[in-house]
Structure 1
Amino acid sequence: MATLSLKPGSRFSVPDWHTNNALISTNAERQRSASHQIRQEARSLRNETNNQTKWNEHDNSTRLSDRIDEVEKWKQALDKCLTDVDTEIDALTLMKDEAERALQAKNVPLDTAIECLTLRESRRTIDLVKDLVEEELHKEVEVIEGIRKALQQKISEAFEQLCLLQESRQQLTWDERDKSETIEIDQTCLSLTKHSPNISLKVDPTRVSYGTTSPQEWEQFSHYNKERAEAEVRASAQLREAIALTIAQTKNELDAQRQAVEFAYRKRIHEFEKAHKELKWQEKNTKEEIEELEEDIRRLESDLREKTGPLNLAHIPLERCTYRPNVDLCRDQGRTGCPLQTSCSH
């Protein structure tokens, strides 16, 4: 005969069973509600993070684009300034070369003036005088030496200014080159997308590299380079004007002194020609007087020779009269007339 086999352990009542089912349902509903809340929050977070990411990407792209525009603006300003510096360097170099040619051209007038002074030292006796020509020649030497000194000073200033311009140009070149490289880097960054190849996470990308500057320092650096270059260009332009003025003034001074020397020469030559003509006239008159005097001497000598016969003739009566005897040795007319004839013969 079969027997009833019962599972050991406690048994639950039907209400307990219903209660347990109700608890399971309530817990399931609570978990589903919590899951739904989590899913809603996750969706909201996804939307928020997606929007924030897109906004951040747009904001970063805008900032990077603005930064590129700003760097490009400074690069263009530096390029223009660099062009101005190059133009000024060429202009100042040409002006410096012109000043050097003007300085070189003063060698001939200086040598000429010194040669004139040397030649005039060969004048003789009374003609070796310190006249107006000598004074003007010495003054011309002093003027030329002063001109050479002034031109040499301007050439030295031009050389120093060229060095400053070259130094400023070098700073501009370095700054412009750095900005070109910066623009290239930033444009590459701006063109990147999440689909670009070879992109990955980097170690500590937000680190501050050594030598990093602030935007204010960055702008001040370029502003200083630009202002310095512009100041050197202005100084160079003023120096070019000063050099051109010096060349013109020294040329006028030399021309004026040359005209003074030429006037002194013409005046002195006129005096010499006048004195030479006077001496020639005096020489001519003196020669004529000498010729007339010589002619008179020859005539006197001829007359003297012609008087020898009458003199001899006069001496004989005088000598014979001395032989008169006694009281007849008288100074009568015959005796006194003979001495008169003798004196006339002498």
Structure 2
Amino acid sequence: MTTKPAARRHSLNILELRSRMSSLPAKPGLRLGVPEWSSNNRLLSATAQHERVISNLIRQEGRSLRNDTSCQTSWDERDTSRRLSDRIWDVARWREALEACAQKVDEEMEALTLCKEQSEQALAATATPLEVSTECLRLREGRRGCELVVDPVDEQLKKEVELIGRVQQVLQQHIDKAFEQLCVLQEARHQLTSDLQNKTDTLDIDMSCLSLTTKSPQISLKINPTRIPSGSSTPQEWHQFSQYNVAHAQEAMDVSQQLREDMSLTRAQLQNQLEAQWRATEFALRKRNHHEEQAREELEWQIKKTEDEMTEMENDVQGLDADLQAKSASLKLAHTRLENRTNRPGMDLCRDEVQHGLVNEVHQLEATILALKQKLSEAQHSLQKMKLHHYHMLQDLSTKKEVLNLEQRSMNTRNHLTSDTGKTPVLLVPLANSSGRSNLQLLAE
């Protein structure tokens, strides 16, 4: 029931629309015929088909290009990752080589520093022997008189002073060379550590690049990323640079090792020379001291014998003087008898046997007194000479005692050269490493 009025209204609307269209004016312009219309439709169909063919071809080429570029991009990424891995391996290998070389350089610097300190201590240790030898020479210059002689002790002491001076000069030269070589090693070590730091930074960068993917949030487009940075080097230059650093450090270590061997050998040779000279000087000093003691003992014995002889001579002088006095009394007696007998009267003044005996007695007494006087004079002169010589011997004994005292002081002074064992002179004493330097702390990966 409801559909019929609706259909009727629809029919009325169509009729009304047709009446309106018939009343519209006709569109001006050229009208096409049916053939043209058909030709246009065929052209549209052909063009559509052609465009579809081209589109299909483009789609196929696009798919092929996508596949090709996807494979190429994937291959390039893998190839770049492989090259990064190879580069990381090369850099890591060189870093290990640089670390090992730097460690060896550090150990060589420690060894050379220790050797240099030993030479410095050896140089400082020569100050006491030089001072002692100089003091011994100064003490021996205090000798006086006949004791001031140029003996083997003086010669050995002067040789010892000259040898110590030469030892100091050689040790100082070695210390200077060691210092210069330490500077060379320090420079080589600086080059190694700088190269090592660069290798460590490079490893961090390359490993970071290797860990990046297309999904990493850190990636972005950069401005002119294909530019060549200033200061870039070729792989050959890069390899030669690290190789030169290692070779230069190895050469410096070889020179340092040879220098250490020379320094150790020279110190041992100088030690032997100083010990030999010390023994020669010590032997000469003890021998001279023994001779001085022998001379003193001989002089003391001579003084004692001279004093005994002087005592005997004084007694004999007294005896001669007493005999001379007695002979003078006998001569007086003989003179008195002769003089008294000259008073005999007359023929009794006879040159009898008594007269001849008294005359002979007087002559004998006069000769005896003359002989006694001569002998007394000789005895007194000899006694004076012995007293004078005794005085000189006492002076010489005093001088010898002073010399022995000086020699003993010299020997006591030289005891500073003797160690606790009493056999070896303390000249060159190697010390433990006191540099306080630690091993090279390498950067962690």
Whether these two folds match at TM > 0.5 is: yes
Q: Which segment drifts farther, 265-274 or 154-163? A: 265-274
Partner of 1:318: 338
Partner of 1:192: 212
Compute the displacement of 1:324 (Å). 5.1
Equivalent position amino acid for 2:59 in 1: R
Equivalent position amino acid for 2:353 in 1: Q
Partner of 1:268: 288
Residues 206 and 337 (structure 1 numbering): CA distance in 2 closer, same or farther, change over 3 Å? same
Partner of 1:242: 262
Matched, 1:95 2:118: no
Partner of 2:321: 301
| Separation in structure 2 between the aligned mates of residue 71 and residue 132 of structure 1, nearest angstrom | 71
Q: Which segment drifts farther, 49-58 or 332-341? A: 332-341
Matched, 1:36 2:56: yes
Compute the displacement of 1:326 (Å). 7.3
Compute the displacement of 1:302 (Å). 2.3
| Separation in structure 2 between the aligned mates of residue 6 and residue 193 of structure 1, nearest angstrom | 70
Q: 2:223 aligns with which of 189, 203, 214?
A: 203
Compute the displacement of 1:246 (Å). 1.6
Q: 2:166 aligns with which of 143, 146, 167?
A: 146
Which structure 2 segments of 5+ residues have no match?
1-24, 370-445
| Separation in structure 1 between the aligned mates of residue 65 and residue 122 of structure 2, nearest angstrom | 83
Partner of 1:180: 200
Partner of 1:62: 82
Residues 45 and 340 (structure 1 numbering): CA distance in 2 closer, same or farther, change over 3 Å? same
Q: 1:217 aligns with which of 237, 245, 251?
A: 237
Q: 2:66 aligns with which of 32, 35, 46?
A: 46
Q: 1:109 aligns with which of 125, 129, 152?
A: 129
Equivalent position amino acid for 2:271 in 1: K
| Separation in structure 2 between the aligned mates of residue 75 and residue 327 of structure 1, nearest angstrom | 155
Matches within 5 A, 1:329-344: 331-344=351-364
| Separation in structure 2 between the aligned mates of residue 130 and residue 290 of structure 1, nearest angstrom | 35
Matched, 1:126 2:146: yes
Compute the displacement of 1:169 (Å). 1.2
Equivalent position amino acid for 1:110 in 2: L
| Separation in structure 2 between the aligned mates of residue 284 and residue 11 of structure 1, nearest angstrom | 177
| Separation in structure 2 between the aligned mates of residue 11 and residue 183 of structure 1, nearest angstrom | 79
Equivalent position amino acid for 2:276 in 1: A
Q: 2:250 aligns with which of 226, 230, 233?
A: 230
Q: Which segment drifts farther, 141-150 or 191-200? A: 191-200
Compute the displacement of 1:331 (Å). 4.5
Q: What is the identity percentage for the equivalent residue pairs of Structure 1 and Structure 2?
A: 49
| Separation in structure 2 between the aligned mates of residue 326 and residue 236 of structure 1, nearest angstrom | 133
Tell me the SS of whatever aligns to 2:193: helix
Q: Which segment drifts farther, 51-60 or 268-277? A: 268-277
Residues 340 and 221 (structure 1 numbering): CA distance in 2 closer, same or farther, change over 3 Å? same
| Separation in structure 2 between the aligned mates of residue 10 and residue 263 of structure 1, nearest angstrom | 149
Deviations 1:287-346 (A, max 9, x none): 222222222112222223333442222111211343456787664432221132224443
| Separation in structure 2 between the aligned mates of residue 31 and residue 248 of structure 1, nearest angstrom | 102
| Separation in structure 1 between the aligned mates of residue 298 and residue 55 of structure 2, nearest angstrom | 141
Equivalent position amino acid for 2:339 in 1: E
Deviations 1:80-119 (A, max 9, x none): 1111111111111111111111111101110111111111
| Separation in structure 2 between the aligned mates of residue 160 and residue 9 of structure 1, nearest angstrom | 109
Compute the displacement of 1:23 (Å). 4.2
Superposed CA RMSD in Å reads 2.3
Q: Which segment drifts farther, 307-316 or 173-182? A: 307-316
Partner of 2:408: none
Q: 1:159 aligns with which of 160, 169, 179?
A: 179
Q: Which segment drifts farther, 300-309 or 312-321? A: 300-309
Tell me the SS of whatever aligns to 1:307: helix
Deviations 1:195-236 (A, max 9, x none): 111321111000111111111111111111111111111111
| Separation in structure 1 between the aligned mates of residue 26 and residue 181 of structure 2, nearest angstrom | 118
Compute the displacement of 1:266 (Å). 2.0
Equivalent position amino acid for 1:92 in 2: L
Q: 2:308 aligns with which of 288, 293, 297?
A: 288
Tell me the SS of whatever aligns to 2:230: coil
Compute the displacement of 1:254 (Å). 0.5
| Separation in structure 1 between the aligned mates of residue 129 and residue 326 of structure 2, nearest angstrom | 73
Residues 11 and 223 (structure 1 numbering): CA distance in 2 closer, same or farther, change over 3 Å? closer
Residues 301 and 70 (structure 1 numbering): CA distance in 2 closer, same or farther, change over 3 Å? same
Compute the displacement of 1:10 (Å). 5.8
Residues 266 and 317 (structure 1 numbering): CA distance in 2 closer, same or farther, change over 3 Å? same
| Separation in structure 2 between the aligned mates of residue 171 and residue 312 of structure 1, nearest angstrom | 124
Tell me the SS of whatever aligns to 1:45: helix
Higher relative contact order, chain-length normalized (CA < 8 Å, sep 6+): 2
| Separation in structure 2 between the aligned mates of residue 327 and residue 232 of structure 1, nearest angstrom | 138
Compute the displacement of 1:39 (Å). 1.0
